[in-house]
Amino acid sequence: MRYITPYILEDLGSKMVFISGPRQVGKTTLAKGILSDHFPSGRYLDWDLDEDRQDILKKRWDRDDRLLIFDELHKFPKWKTWIKGIYDVSHPSHAFLITGSARLDIYRRGGDSLMGRYHPWRLHPFTLDELPNGIAPKEGFQRLMALGGFPEPFLAGDERAARRWRRERFDRVLREDIRDLESIRNIQLLGLFVDLLRQRVGGLVTLSNIATDLQISPKTAKVWLDVLERMYLLFTVRPYTKSLPRAVLKPPKVYFFDNGDVLAGEGERFENLVATSLLKRLHFLEDRDGYRYELRYLRDKEGREIDFVIIKENRIEELIEAKWSDDEISKSLLYYTERLEPEKATQITAQLRRPYSQGRIRVTDPLSYFHPDFFVNPPF
């Protein structure tokens, strides 16, 4: 059972449920598990399968199917209008679960809105907060660093198999998903764009520089970055500037949902792991409680930088610095903690001998900060 399963079951009693997330993160397995374990009857329909697609278009399923699952329905150009009509007529008789490997919310443009008819949930790869049974935290951390958290390579525990899986997944996302949903012709050049981003994880990404390297326009680079975000291949962390007058608008940072995608050293891979784990928490809290959370970074003109700033409803909750081996508190974290007075300030150090506190700052290791109880008994 994945971490969002009980919440999805609760929401299915009142509205449609949309599950989005990266390709091969486990959405189909989750949906089929909900059908087999919790519904006496139902139907799973995959838009990518010819027979199922015809049944979807002709609305062929049994009236006794209590749960209807539509997988990859967003690839149907008129999916929103179609599912709205089905739901408005049939929701007393059926529960509806819709899954997709793209951000379903951005495809609600035009026509009647689905607002008020569904609850969205975003499924993320495994993290230290959510490890499968039988995998200890230390082993889980090693696998997350080397293999990433996607179920197939993570569970297999084999680096060679993980590399092959990753190459195939990249190819399918770039050549199939983006082809189906976006009007990008030069897929080969887009692949080079992704490779350049994989080398820049954790650093400020100046799109104009990448555009020059690839001989494309900065506007095209921005469009491509947005597309890759919508496909759940990567995500951006933007600067936080509101409270500090000396802070300046900076380029975004880029992180990948698959930790194995990072083409850099251990420090960058660890920062990427922290970023994905934090985003998973914030998406969960947003989807469960409806509050608005943001993951930002902070940097001023003097170069003082904080890796991550957690913001809830425009208020800073926590400053977080990620370090691979340095157990001395970051000077930037000391500086901003004193001036911004956040509720919490934390430095997460991968190779830390012993956690400690200094003033308002907690220095801890990833196994202590990220723990399996978070989704079972969320602290908020």
First to last CA, the chain: 22
Give residue-wise pLDDT tens across range 244-297: 544 446 799 999 999 999 998 999 999 999 999 999 999 999 999 999 999 999
pLDDT, position 322: 98
Is residue 203 within 8 A of residue 253, CB to CB? The reply is yes
pLDDT, position 105: 57
Distance CA 201, CA 194 (A): 11
For the chain, give every residue range classified as CATH 3.40.50.300: 5-122
Instruction: Identify the residue whose tokens are 């680079």.
Output: 221
pLDDT, position 107: 45
The tokens describing 321, both together, are 């610095």
Instruction: Identify the residue whose tokens are 């149907």.
Output: 76
Please state whether beta strands 118-122 and 16-20 pair in parallel, antiparallel, or not at all (unpaired). Answer: parallel
> Going by C-beta distance under 8 Å and a sequence separation of 6 or more, which residues neighbour residue 318?
309, 310, 342, 343, 344, 345, 346
Check residue 98 and report its DSSP letter. E
Three-state secondary structure call for residue 121: strand
Distance CA 167, CA 291 (A): 36
Specify the DSSP element, H or E, that contains 81: helix 79-90
pLDDT, position 102: 78
Distance CA 132, CA 42 (A): 27
Over its C-alpha atoms, the chain yields an Rg (Å, rounded) of 21
Strand ranges of the sheet holding 361-364, from the earlier edge strand across to the other edge: 253-256, 234-239, 293-299, 305-312, 315-323, 344-349, 361-364, 356-358
Per-10-residue mean pLDDT, the chain, length 380: 95 95 95 96 95 95 95 90 92 93 59 79 96 94 97 96 93 80 76 94 94 92 92 94 57 95 94 98 95 94 94 95 94 96 96 94 97 75
Check residue 294 and report its DSSP letter. E
- Look at residues 86, 28, 100, 94 and name the one whose alpha carbon lies nearest to residue 58: 86
pLDDT, position 108: 43
Regarding the domain delimited by 5-122, which CATH topology (the fold level of the hierarchy) does it fall under? Answer: Rossmann fold (3.40.50)
CA distances in angstroms from 128 to 195, 354, 368, listed in the order given: 27, 19, 9
